[in-house]
Chain A
Amino acid sequence: MTQESTRKQAAPMSEAAFTLLVQGVLDYGIFMLDPQGHIISWNAGAERIKGYRAEDIVGQHFSVFYPPEDQASGKPQWELETAVAEGRLEDEGWRVRKDGSRFWANVVITALWDEKGVLRGFGKVTRDMSERRAAQHALSERRRLFDHLVQAQETERRRIAWDVHDDSIQAMVAVAMRLELLADRVPESYTAELHRLDASVREAIDRLRSLTFRLHPPGIDRHGLIEGLASHLADVVGSSWGMAYTFEHQLDREPSPETAITIFRIAQEALLNVHKHARGSRVDVRVASADGGIVTRVVDDGTGEPMPQDGARDHFGVIEMRERAETAGGWWSMHSRPGTGTTVEFWLPNPRPVPATTPEPAKDAP
């Protein structure tokens, strides 16, 4: 390897000075990559932010810091290429810590050239912006708009579900009852046909009923997220689909209604996908507080078919799940390995209600 000899030359200052500078900085992760993207130096800030110690990480490729979906789309490589082409690249986005949790990073990658114009590697500076981002997001117009949209959508769905229940289903029940009554009264030659009609009306009723369930699962707004998920798992996953499941939860605080609905909706689609596509035997759901928000995991033991990259336009589940999570200020990912099932994992911030909307007398007023 010729890089061994060139690394030292690539350093813009003496090793000792560089080490001192780098060691002193805690707020920034500062490290270097070789031209292929392998980590060749590490500092205390990087350890603090990303959770790796130098001996764990030096020599590894820097793409381990990226979420699986970014790895799959080739983002790390693309970032290096851009830094080479333009000298520098700045990016904000989710990065993954050693323990798998994510933080919102500001990243600057600078290409380092020697005097002969040969690429010697990259300098990378990473800052953890999670807290600032969360604070900004909680107060933003965008957050308020998001909450409003979630509520509006749920209200609309509830209204449609009620209309279907109170009108369509009842009307069809009346038709079915009358058909059955009629079947007992007409000459025998018509009976079979009437029973067939009756059966198809009753099947349509069942389908409408499960549609209203999906539109507005009872329980979620009355009893909160955990109850809502628990009864969805019991009624739909367990009873209707006959699938084995486990449900674990560990919340240090009840989510806001908007956050609860968003988690529920994403989990609902992830579970539906398990039912439709995974051909597995079980699904494990876990909801837990993490990083000032809530992380949810839906794990199946199915085919683990990788996400199709065929660009087919008629699959909206994945797009919608990601959209919901990102609009709420969080992240969403789906990873699967053939033979070991699929994991859908997402995190949403769980902001406390905006003070302005819940006026309360000052607690420590005399």
Chain B
Amino acid sequence: MTATAGRPGPPLSVLLCDDNAMLLEVLSEVVQAQPDLEVVGTACNGEQALRLAYRRQPDLVVLDVRFPGGGPSVAREIAQCSPGSRIVAFSAYDDKGSIEQMKNAGVFEYVLKGASNRELFAALRRAAATR
């Protein structure tokens, strides 16, 4: 059994955004398997992401950095249409420039693709804790 953060109450709702279909599917499965996290939507482009963010007002958004519509600008727009959401960048790039751009766009955590699932969950829970 996977450890939860010992957090009572309803699971955190999560919106997943990545343009790679295979990755989106796995991400969805992996996050859903956590008792304290619940996937409420998946998006593979900026337009879908904004629509779902607006409709679902998720607690958390996992956002690819090289994302159709531009990672940083999608992050800004999500923050506008769903101000309660905490965004976690999930990126294949670990250069300073990409990290800075996303942090400037208001993301709370920056997780490198290739980090362990545990690290991703930990980042999601940290981000949620700031709400």
Seen from chain A, the residues whose Cβ lies within 8 Å of a Cβ on chain B are 165-166, 169-174, 176-178, 180-181, 184, 198, 202, 205-206, 209, 213, 217-219, 222-223, 231, 234-235
Contacts and interface: CB of A to CB of B under 8 A. Distances in A.
B130 interface: no
A174 B117 contact: no
A173 B95 contact: no
B33 A181 contact: yes
Interface stretch (B21-29, B46-54, B75-83): B21-29
A349 B75 CA distance: 43
A178 B116 CA distance: 11
15 contacts: A165-B66, A169-B114, A172-B114, A173-B113, A173-B114, A174-B25, A177-B30, A180-B30, A181-B117, A198-B116, A205-B114, A209-B92, A219-B95, A222-B97, A234-B96
A180 B116 contact: yes
A344 B95 CA distance: 26
Contacts of A177: 23, 26-27, 30, 117
Given A166-B92, A171-B22, 5 more contacts: A165-B93, A170-B20, A177-B30, A177-B117, A178-B26
A235 B112 CA distance: 15
A198 B30 CA distance: 14
- 3 interchain residue pairs of minimum CB distance: A205-B114, A170-B20, A174-B26
Interface in B86-118: 92-98, 113-114, 116-118
Given A165-B92, A235-B96, A202 B66 contact: no
Interface of B: 2, 20, 22-23, 25-27, 29-30, 33, 66, 92-98, 113-114, 116-118
Contact of B98 (A171, A176, A218): A218
A205 B22 CA distance: 16
Task: Name, among B22, B66, B92, the residue most crowded by chain A CB atoms within 10 Å (CB to CB).
Answer: B92
A217 to B, nearest CB: 8
Nearest to A223: B97
A212 to B, nearest CB: 8
A231 B88 CA distance: 24
Contact of A231 (B2, B23, B95, B113): B95
Contacts of B94: 209
Nearest to B19: A166
A186 to B, nearest CB: 14
Contacts of B114: 169, 172-173, 176, 202, 205-206, 209
